[in-house]
Amino acid sequence: MKIVQYCNYTFPPLGHIGVERVASYLAQGLVELGHEVFLKCNPGSTHKYAQVITSLDQLPSSIDVIHVHRFSEIYELYIRGLTWVFSHHGVNADSVIIKRVPGILRNTIFVSRRHAEIHNSDKFVLNGLDPDDYMLVNKKEDYYLWLAGLAWGERKGLYTALRLAKETGIRLKIAGPGPENLEAVIQASKEYPNIEYMGLVEGKQKLELLGRAKALLFPINWEDPCPLVPIEAMFCGTPIITKNIGAMSELVDSDTGIFCERYEDILEALNEIHKFDPETIRQKAVDKFNHIKCASDYLEMYKRIECERKNTKVSGRYLGLPTSFWLSPKGIQMNNTFQPYIQKFKRVANKLSF
């Protein structure tokens, strides 16, 4: 197949940027499976496997699939009459439109079963990474790791991790960029010598932190669609202490981590974490979250969506609602995310056919 991964970011991606990394590994996997892949991205980008293009005018002929990774990019393809599939990587304002507009929902692929369910869909593919980029570490050191952007705060259990370290004395390393919540983390590291703030970590430093940790503390409090950090930790043979929220039950099982519904459960988990086998953790993660499997699952999803289009005689550019709706007050109010595009819709309304 001839496939375009449409992701207007700069490649290669930074180590802490999730969507770009997923798109990059997907492109790699598709190429390794024998497909011709183009990566539509920002000028100055490079990619080891895919052919880089920076403009829609550079699209090759006879494209089989255009796979979009950012919601706003749908509009660019829509006004050109191009068919597309869309990976929704988050739970945000875009979700309202996706659920309410049939033509978008029909062509959207989510990143976990739970993520799809909350959007009234059953189309999903779990994220995949290249396990060769991660090293197995059998010998763990005496520290726990919390790793995410500090802006996530208690949504990813930052303050639960800090409380745990303060009350139990465990060594805790906090890694991730600020500035949100940075003051609280720095203050805690000053008051408690067992708490260390590492700042933004990438590359070899990140891999070593993940691999040597006794466990990744990931007691989230939101519907995380399919977070990459637990997958990365498991690739390094590190177990996960988490909650059964969002996609976590699809990522972690009894061989790779512990589910804790209450703070007291986390306290108990600290006494059980030594029982996990790093090699088993890595192998289970590699089997489920490698980039080749991810690419293969996306290929099946491309075929499914194309089959549905043929059966319903609806193209990828169909949104399921007439132009008059989008120009009405109700259409404009449907979601603030679409408001930047309303004027564009008005300018091209006479050219659109639904």
Higher-pLDDT residue of 282, 96: 282
Cα–Cα distance between 106 and 347 in angstroms, integer? 26
Farthest-apart Cα atoms in the chain, separation: 66
- Helix (H) or strand (E) segment spanning residue 172: strand 172-175
115/10 Cα distance (integer angstroms): 26
pLDDT value for 133:
96
What value does the mean pLDDT take over residues 229-244? 98
Question: Whole-angstrom Cα distance, residue 113 to residue 117?
Answer: 6
Eight-class DSSP state of 146? E
Position 101 scores a pLDDT of 77
- Decide if 318 contacts 75 (C-beta within 8 A): no
- With tokens 């790093």, the residue in question is 278
Lowest-confidence region among 58-62, 68-72, 249-253, 340-344: 340-344
Which of 7-11, 45-49, 137-141, 230-234 shows the lowest mean pLDDT across its residues? 7-11
The CATH classification number of 2-128+293-351 equals 3.40.50.2000
Report the chain's mean pLDDT, rounded to a whole number: 88
Task: Please tell me which residue, 321 or 272, carries the higher pLDDT value.
Answer: 272
pLDDT at 107: 92
E-assigned strand segments in 23-123: 36-40, 51-53, 65-68, 85-87, 108-109
Task: Label residue 117 by pLDDT band (50, 70, 90).
Answer: very high
- The pLDDT of residue 319 is above 70: no
* Vertex 252 angle, CA 250 and 256, to 5°: 155
Q: How confident is the model at residue 15 (pLDDT cuts 50, 70, 90)?
A: low
pLDDT digits (tens, 9 = 90+) for 154-172: 999 999 999 999 999 999 9
Q: Supply the pLDDT for residue 349.
A: 34
DSSP line for 241-277: EE-S-TTHHHH--TTTEEE-SSHHHHHHHTTTGGG--
Q: What is the pLDDT of residue 344?
A: 45
| Euclidean distance between CA atoms 77 and 63, whole angstroms | 13
When pLDDT is cut at 50, 70 and 90, the band that residue 25 belongs to is very high
* Per-residue confidence (pLDDT) for residue 263, from 0 to 100: 97
So what's the pLDDT on residue 308? 86
Checking if the pLDDT of 343 tops 50, the result is no
pLDDT of residue 322: 46
* Mean pLDDT of all residues in 224-238: 97
pLDDT band (50, 70, 90) for residue 16: low
DSSP, residue by residue, 144-180:
EEEES-GGGGGGGTHHHHHHHHHHH---EEEE---ST
What CATH number is given for 132-289 in this structure? 3.40.50.2000
Domain residue limits, the chain? 2-128+293-351, 132-289
* pLDDT at res. 102: 76
Note the pLDDT of residue 97.
81
What's the rounded mean pLDDT across residues 116-124?
95
Is residue 239 reached through a cis peptide bond, with omega within 30 degrees of 0 on the bond before it?
A: no
Q: What are phi and psi of 196, to 5 degrees?
A: -125, 130
